[in-house]
């Protein structure tokens, strides 16, 4: 079942609730194999919920529909020399999948990229959202700026929830200025990267692969490059090597598992959404 509006999502969820049918929440489908396998009665396709709702470059605020392709968002922001700070990643090459990566899928999978070490993870950038709960009710949480958030910070729950708390219908982010960058590499141990991370360099990517340390720097490059050379004989590199895919979450400790189940029950008491995708029974 494909929805093109929040109202259609509400109708589909209410129908699923009435007939006790589970729903696989699906966007572009590129991360479908990530996480635990799940067997659902029906599929709720959110790829029709696409488009930019509002973009205010001066305020560094962006609101989009969850099915909006990442490429579209990145192109829009790049035109204003801006970026998503958590640098959501395209996992198609790693997962062997096809389709179009979407912003909703990146949030649900918590697909942070290297720049998260500098700007924060997805949960630090999602200011607010709209969604539909297991009662078939549309609701909103969070706000357009951090100081507007009162009570429980629900946007943080949605990051990495793998759709188990319900379908998202709108997402609001803060964005960041985007500067020029360079990548440097040197045949050094991982310990050097720990020192770089603790330094004032504010690197936006660190990686150790095949005996080489890689560092990505942005901003005032001349000054930062000079500082980096204090840690070793770094030279410019073409690109960072490919990243390694994170594994599905390990079983939660009992106390946290009880809390996770309580949260799931509050949002989705009948267990309609992506059952078992995040953890067994969730």
Based on the domain organization, do 98 and 226 belong to the same domain? no
pLDDT of residue 145: 66
User: Which pairing describes strands 176-177 and 168-174: parallel, antiparallel, or unpaired?
Assistant: unpaired
Q: Are the C-beta atoms of residues 31 and 46 closer than 8 Å to each other?
A: no
Based on the domain organization, do 26 and 161 belong to the same domain? yes
pLDDT of residue 119: 93
pLDDT of residue 241: 84
pLDDT per residue as tens, the chain (282 positions)? 999 999 999 999 999 999 999 999 999 999 998 888 889 999 999 999 999 999 999 999 999 999 999 999 999 999 999 999 999 999 998 889 999 999 999 999 999 999 999 999 999 999 999 999 999 999 999 987 655 555 678 999 999 999 999 999 999 999 999 988 999 999 999 999 999 999 999 999 999 998 999 999 998 889 999 999 999 999 999 888 876 667 656 778 889 889 989 999 999 999 999 999 888 777
Rounded CA gap, 145 and 24, in Å? 31
Instruction: List the Cα angle 234/235/237 in 5-degree steps.
Output: 120
Based on the domain organization, do 131 and 216 belong to the same domain? no
Here the CATH number for the domain that contains residue 222 is: 3.30.70
Rounded CA gap, 219 and 230, in Å? 18
Rounded CA gap, 17 and 135, in Å? 7
Based on the domain organization, do 106 and 228 belong to the same domain? no
Based on the domain organization, do 36 and 69 belong to the same domain? yes
Of 95, 30, 64, residue with least CA distance to 173: 64
Based on the domain organization, do 209 and 196 belong to the same domain? yes
Based on the domain organization, do 54 and 185 belong to the same domain? no
In a domain, 148, yes or no: yes
Based on the domain organization, do 216 and 76 belong to the same domain? no
Domain that holds residue 185: 181-237
- Structure pTM? 0.90
């Amino acid at each position: 079942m494909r929805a093109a509006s929040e109202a259609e999502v509400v109708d589909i969820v209410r129908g699923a609730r009435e007939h006790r049918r589970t729903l696989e929440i699906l966007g572009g489908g590129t991360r479908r194999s990530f996480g635990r396998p799940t067997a659902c009665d029906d599929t709720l396709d959110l790829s029709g919920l696409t488009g930019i709702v509002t973009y205010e470059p001066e305020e560094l605020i962006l609101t989009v529909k969850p099915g909006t392709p990442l490429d579209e968002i990145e192109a829009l922001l790049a035109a204003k020399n801006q970026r998503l700070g958590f640098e959501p990643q395209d996992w198609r090459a790693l997962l062997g999948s096809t389709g179009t990566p979407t912003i909703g899928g990146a949030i649900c999978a918590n697909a942070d990229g290297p720049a998260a070490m500098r700007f924060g993870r997805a949960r630090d950038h999602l200011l607010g959202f709209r969604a539909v709960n297991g009662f078939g009710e549309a609701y909103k949480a969070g706000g357009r700026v951090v100081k507007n958030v009162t009570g429980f910070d629900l946007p943080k729950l949605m990051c990495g929830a793998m759709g188990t708390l319900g379908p998202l219908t709108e997402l609001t982010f803060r964005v960041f200025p985007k500067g020029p960058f360079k990548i440097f590499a040197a045949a050094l141990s991982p310990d050097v990267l720990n020192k770089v991370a603790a330094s004032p360099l504010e690197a936006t990517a660190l990686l150790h692969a095949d005996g080489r340390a890689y560092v990505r720097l942005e901003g005032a490059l001349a000054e930062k490059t000079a500082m980096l050379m204090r840690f070793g004989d770094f030279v410019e590199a073409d690109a960072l090597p490919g990243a390694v895919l994170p594994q599905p979450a390990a079983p939660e400790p009992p106390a946290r598992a009880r809390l996770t189940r309580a949260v799931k029950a509050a949002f989705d008491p009948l267990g309609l959404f992506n059952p078992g995708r995040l953890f067994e029974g969730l």
